[in-house]
Amino acid sequence: MKITADYINTLNDIEKLPFTTKNDLRDNAPFGFLTTSLEKCSELHASSGTTGIPVTVCYTPNDIDVWSEVMARCLSMSGLTKKDVFQNPIPYGTFTGAFGFHYGAQKIGALVIPSGQGQSERQLKLMKYYGTTFISGVASYATRLSQVAEELGIDLKKLEVRNGLFGAEMFTIGLKNRIMDSWNMDVHDIYGLTEMCGPGVSTDCDQHNGLHLWEDHFLLEFLDPKNLEPVDLEVEGEMVLTTLTKEGMPILRYRTRDIAKIYDQKICECGRTHIKHSTIKGRSDDMLIIRGTNIYPGQIESVLMKYPEVGNNWRMIINTEKQVDQLTVEVESKLSLSQMESMELEENLKKDIKSVLVFNPKILILQPKSIVQEGLKAKRVIDNRKRE
Ligand code: DLL
Residues 196 and 253 in one domain: yes
Q: Whose CA is nearest to atom 12 of ligand 1?
A: 193
Whether residues 174 and 231 fall in one domain? yes
Q: Does the residue 388 lie in any domain?
A: no
CA of 340 to the centre of ligand 1 (A): 39
Residues of the chain with pLDDT under 70: 49-51, 387-388
Q: How far is the CA of 191 from the centre of ligand 1 (A)?
A: 5
Tell which of 283, 314, 341 closes a domain: 283
Residues 263 and 367 in one domain: no
Instruction: For residues 213 and 251, state if they share a domain.
Output: yes
How big is the chain by its Cα radius of gyration, in Å? 22
Q: What is the pLDDT of residue 51?
A: 62
Per the domain annotation, does 322 fall within a domain?
yes
Domain range for 328 is: 288-383
Question: Within this chain, do residues 70 and 209 fall inside the same structural domain, yes or no?
Answer: yes
The residue nearest atom 14 of ligand 1, judged by CA position, is 193
Alpha-carbon gap, residue 86 to 64, rounded angstroms: 20
Is 140's C-beta closer than 6 angstroms to any atom of ligand 1?
no
CA nearest 222: which of 190, 258, 250? 258
* Amino acid in position 231: V
Report which of 125, 111, 105, 169 is spatially closest to residue 143, judged by C-alpha positions: 169
Asked whether residue 292 falls in the same domain as residue 278, the answer is: no
Q: How many CA atoms lie within 13 A of 349 on its CB side?
A: 30
How many angstroms separate the alpha carbon of residue 41 from the centre of ligand 1? 23
Query: pTM of the entire structure?
Result: 0.93
Q: Is residue 5 part of a domain?
A: no
pLDDT of residue 128: 96
Same domain as 277, residue 341: no
Q: From atom 32 of ligand 1, which residue's Cα is the shortest distance away?
A: 169
pLDDT at 50: 62
185 and 297 fall within a common domain = no
Write out pLDDT tens, residues 50-70. 667 889 999 999 999 999 999
Instruction: Examine the domain organization and report whether 41 and 58 are in the same domain.
Output: yes
Q: Residue 32: inside a domain, yes or no?
A: yes
Rounded Cα gap, residues 214 and 17, in angstroms: 22
Using one digit for the tens of pLDDT, what is the confidence trace for 282-328? Answer: 998 888 999 888 899 999 999 999 999 999 899 999 999 888 899 99
Residue 50 sits in a domain whose CATH number is 3.40.50.12780
Total domains in the chain come to: 2
Question: Are residues 123 and 43 part of one domain?
Answer: yes
| Residue 243 amino acid letter | T
Residue 297 confidence (pLDDT): 93
DSSP string, 368-380: TT-SPP-SSS---
Residue that terminates a domain, selected from 229, 259, 283 = 283
Domain assignment of residue 1, yes or no: no
Please state the φ and ψ torsions of residue 260, each to the nearest 5 degrees: -160, -170
Same domain, 101 and 231: yes
